[in-house]
Chains A and B, each alone.
Chain A
Amino acid sequence: MLLLTFRDLVYRKTRFIVVTVLGAVVFALLFVMTGLVNQFNLEPAETVEQFDADQWVLPEGVSAPFTSVSLMPAATLDAVDAATKSPVVITRSSVSDGGTPEEVVLVGFEPGGLGAPKVVEGRVPEAEGEVAVGRTLDVDVGADITVAGEPFTVVGLTDKTTVLAGIPFAYLTLPEAQILAFTSTDVISSVLVSGELGALPAGLTSLSSDEVIDQTLQPLEGAIASIDLVRALLWIVAAIIVGAVVYLSALDRQRDFAVLKAVGASNTSLLGSLALQAVLIALGAVALAAVIQVFLAPQFPLPVTVPTSAFWQLPLLAVVMALAAGAIGMRKVLRSDPSQAFAGAGT
């Protein structure tokens, strides 16, 4: 069976190479789409985790800190019953390094408090005119940029701090962020709490970090559903490609199968040969796709993080898909009549 399969693959190599490459392009897109959805799901969790908060105290009616405008008096901090708590400002702003301004989430924090950035290069801002920004803004430590039109110097870089499909963060000390956002140091956006949180005064509510993550992901649900639909369509295209080549192969080899059946070969062994061919094409396409996606993913404007699980799930699904798609061709084998081995009955 193996010999029959491999020899046929070699004999029709041009067709199989073309189909494998076509399949690989489709599977590479599937890898990237999977990576995009994965990144959408990972992004809020990674970002929220860096705030080190168990609870987020917000004014009632505010759905989440990154998706709604949240304002509360700075004095609210005193009314929050918790051992470890920090005020933060979270608002939308823009930064520019001289080129086109880029939208950012502006975070004001108390140095040493909850919500302070975890810099991976440089240091945490401590003084006026200092800012830490996400790596995706592509600026270096020491660079001069503007935040909401005001000059700042980049003193640190953070990683994995984006929300809403790639909007990066800019961290300032709390007073500077308050002035930039609200022109007043009497206003904050939220109180971050670590550990136990006592009863809240009227007009305030709290969200757990998991709730914040879920709420942050909500605006992207439509985008994720759309990508899932595209993924489903790509699977169908892949199935059509593999199914078509297996069907063509079955058509081409109908006489061969009839001859082998006539000499006593079982349906199982012949089906096995065709099924193996389908599986090999699918696996070859996935292997090539795994290489193509390495070059394709960076071309996407959004971060793409292909999960490790995709590298075994995709081949597994591809094998199942190849067998299902090849079923029509395999049915052709089952139905091939050994009498076709002769020139044709009736002659």
Chain B
Amino acid sequence: MTVGPLTVTDLVVEFVHDGYAIRPLDNLSFQAQAGELVVLLGPSGCGKTTLLSCVGGILTPTSGTIRLGPTDVTGLKGADLDAYRREEIGFVFQAFNLIPSLTARENIAVPLILTGHGRKESFARADELLEQVGLSERSGHLPSRLSGGQMQRVAVARGLGHNPLLLLADEPTANLDHIQAEAIIRLLQGLRDDGRMIVVSTHDSRLVPIADRIVQMVPPDQHEERPTHDITFSAGESIFEQGDPADLVYVIKSGNVDVIRVLADGGEELLTKLGADQYFGELGPFLGFPRSASVRAVSDVVLTAYSPRVFREKVLHKT
């Protein structure tokens, strides 16, 4: 089994939600090789699942390219895209997403049957995979009669049904206790050792030690503590833009600013006007989210910039 490198270049995904543009992926680039277990690491909301959806060909990015070996995934359309998903990619969805009316064995076989494989062949493959994930004795059980770990193993087996080159797993250890998580991690390791490329999205650091490559979805040093300092902006100057990484909280010493939301159509919506002694930009650094609005100086302004920790101690708790 060989698969060419996975190359993600300048990937941008932008959604429009309630009229506002949200950009969960902003110029992301990385490369992974065959036989590697790639961990996409980051908090909720950082775009891990969006990236998996793009690599899996079920979401079209706004811009950028994804190549798997010679295949330009972002250039595939219609039947070619269906064939790519059907033949080259295996999915392990978050929360297992097993079909509740089907037994473990049928959950593996039915997708194969629906994609044109023979019934007998599909069930034989399901039996083989159930044995591989150590669940042969549970093959006739409905998902409701399986533990979380067992359901996840069935989900992995389903993802392997057509023997894909690339396995995409979304939070495969979420909601599992350490024993069940360990079994899944061991299973993923074994699959990687078979020469398959595995891309796992997770915020579970237990997967980090076995990863061959880690893609940090949020820059790791962005919350590094910076000293409190004053900063000056001239009238009309941008203090930060919507979607920028959030690191500092600002208190206005003098002058006025506008807080503006940039709309999907390129227009702008004024959210509020702020003046001396008011602060802005605190939620992004606290929560690890990018900036949700732009801030622009209306007059010449002097701001005091705080790290989130210092802001919390010196400003929030003081007030």
Contacts and interface: CB of A to CB of B under 8 A. Distances in A.
Q: Which of A3, A8, A11, A345 has the most B CB atoms < 10 Å from its CB?
A: A345
28 contacts: A1-B113, A3-B106, A3-B110, A3-B113, A4-B99, A4-B101, A11-B100, A12-B101, A255-B97, A259-B91, A259-B93, A259-B97, A263-B91, A264-B86, A264-B111, A264-B114, A265-B115, A338-B58, A338-B85, A341-B97, A342-B53, A342-B94, A343-B95, A345-B24, A345-B53, A346-B49, A347-B44, A347-B48
A110 interface: no
B45 interface: yes
B101 A345 contact: no
B165 interface: no
A12 to B, nearest CB: 7
A344 B114 contact: no
Q: Which of A7, A263, A343 has the most B CB atoms < 10 Å from its CB?
A: A263
Contacts of A12: 101
Contact of B102 (A7, A263, A265, A344): A7
Contacts of A339: 53, 58-59
Contacts of B170: 342-343
Given A262-B58, A347-B44, A342 B113 contact: no
Interface residues of B, number: 40
Interface in A250-272: 255-256, 259-260, 262-266, 269-270
Contact of B91 (A255, A256, A262, A343): A262
Contacts of A4: 99, 101-102, 110, 114
Given A7-B102, A8-B101, A343-B95, A263 B85 contact: yes
Main secondary structure of the interface of A (DSSP, over half): helix
Nearest to A269: B114
Contacts of A270: 114
Interface string A1-17: 10110011011100000
Contact of B52 (A260, A265, A342): A342
A346 B102 contact: no
A264 B115 CA distance: 6
Give the 9 A-B CB pairs with smallest separation, nearest first: A264-B86, A11-B101, A265-B114, A7-B101, A338-B58, A343-B94, A263-B111, A347-B49, A264-B115
Nearest to A259: B97
A214 to B, nearest CB: 56
B56 interface: yes
Interface string B237-271: 00000000000000000000000000000000000
A7 B143 CA distance: 13
Interface of A: 1, 3-4, 7-8, 10-12, 255-256, 259-260, 262-266, 269-270, 337-339, 341-347
Q: Which of A260, A337, A343 has the most B CB atoms < 10 Å from its CB?
A: A343
B49 A345 contact: yes
A195 to B, nearest CB: 70
A346 B24 contact: yes
A266 B85 contact: no
B30 interface: no
Contacts of B82: 264, 266
Contacts of B44: 347
Given A339-B59, A341-B91, A346 B50 contact: yes
A259 B56 contact: no
A338 B158 CA distance: 16
A263 B101 contact: no
Given A3-B110, A345-B50, A262 B56 contact: yes
Nearest to A252: B100
B49 A344 contact: yes
Nearest to A347: B49
Interface string B290-309: 00000000000000000000
Interface in B155-187: 158, 161, 170-171
Given A4-B114, A262-B85, A266-B82, 11 more contacts: A1-B113, A12-B101, A259-B91, A260-B110, A260-B114, A264-B85, A264-B114, A265-B111, A270-B114, A337-B58, A341-B97
Contacts of A259: 91, 93, 97, 99, 111
A248 to B, nearest CB: 14
Contacts of B142: 11
A258 to B, nearest CB: 8
A62 B82 CA distance: 76
A265 B109 CA distance: 12
